[in-house]
């Protein structure tokens, strides 16, 4: 078993699997469809340009679902891990639901954005969704004549904070991957980069993935069951 101590620089990557344990469906669960619309109809810049009201309805629905969800034991275990490791802990998530922050994590990089925020398509200003008129099907920017869009990284767009992520991959001792298939880039390349640079790699997932040959220690099963045990073992020394 790979040892993690208070001096270990631990970098975590989470995907849809950990949120699924809180009851949030993934796109794969729905066959890539939403109300008979393909993801290309609601998850691309072209889709927003073509039908912004449809895209807003999709993300409002997702935000409502995320607000009803609560962190599961896997999220809570990662919050305990951050408290224990302090500045040696960093978490990258592909999820946009805010459950890591709700669980108590503060060192979180939301590489695909957040359902809790929106952006102006004109001036680039960022606003909490709570400041947006909930009755509007196409919110406008309070600062300029622009239209607001969800602060979500759509297909074909560049993820947030990639330079910071690259620095963390270069400096971590252990890279822990949770609840992701690891086949969608750029996140798919993270485990390869970390391992190439000398980090030990651990994965927690319901099933083995195509990247398992890059994993030093694999734990098969729900994150909500495995992570609390792992964290307990690490903290006990």
Distance from the first to the final alpha carbon of the chain: 12
| CATH code reported for the domain at 1-24+70-112+157-237 | 3.40.50.1220
Q: Mean pLDDT, to the nearest integer, of 100-121?
A: 97
Q: Mean pLDDT, to the nearest integer, of 125-138?
A: 86
Q: Which of the residues are catalytic?
A: 112
The DSSP H or E segment spanning 203 is strand 200-205
- pLDDT value, residue 46: 95
Mind listing the pLDDT tens digit for each residue in 195-208? 999 999 999 999 98
Q: Where are the domains of the chain?
A: 1-24+70-112+157-237
Mind listing the pLDDT tens digit for each residue in 1-22? 999 999 999 999 999 999 999 9
29 has pLDDT over 70: no
**At 32, is the pLDDT very low, low, confident or very high (cuts 50, 70, 90)?**
low
Mind listing the pLDDT tens digit for each residue in 44-67? 999 999 999 999 999 998 999 999
Burial class (CB in 10 A: 0-12, 13-18, 19+), 147: middle
Closest CA to 161 of 124, 181, 178, 186: 186
Burial class (CB in 10 A: 0-12, 13-18, 19+), 237: exposed
């Amino acid at each position: 078993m790979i040892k993690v101590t208070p001096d270990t620089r631990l970098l975590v990557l989470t995907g849809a699997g950990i949120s699924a344990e809180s009851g949030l469906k993934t796109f794969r669960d729905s066959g890539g469809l939403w109300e008979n619309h393909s993801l290309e109809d609601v998850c691309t810049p072209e889709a927003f340009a073509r039908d912004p009201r449809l895209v807003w309805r999709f993300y409002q629905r997702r935000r409502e679902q995320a607000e009803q969800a609560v962190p599961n034991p896997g999220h809570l275990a990662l919050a305990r891990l951050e408290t224990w490791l302090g500045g040696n802990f960093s978490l990258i998530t592909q999820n946009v639901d805010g459950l890591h922050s709700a669980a108590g994590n503060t060192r979180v990089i939301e590489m695909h954005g957040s359902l809790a925020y929106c952006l102006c398509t004109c001036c680039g200003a960022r606003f909490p969704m709570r400041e947006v008129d909930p009755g509007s099907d196409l919110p406008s920017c309070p600062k300029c004549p622009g239209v607001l869009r969800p602060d979500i990284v759509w297909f074909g767009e560049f993820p947030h904070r990639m330079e910071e992520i690259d620095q963390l991959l270069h400096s971590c001792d252990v890279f822990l991957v949770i609840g992701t298939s690891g086949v969608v880039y750029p996140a798919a390349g993270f485990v390869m980069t970390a391992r190439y640079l000398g980090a030990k790699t651990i994965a927690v997932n319901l099933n083995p993935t195509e990247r398992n040959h890059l994993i030093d220690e694999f734990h098969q099963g729900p994150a909500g069951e495995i992570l609390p045990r792992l964290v307990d073992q690490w903290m006990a020394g």
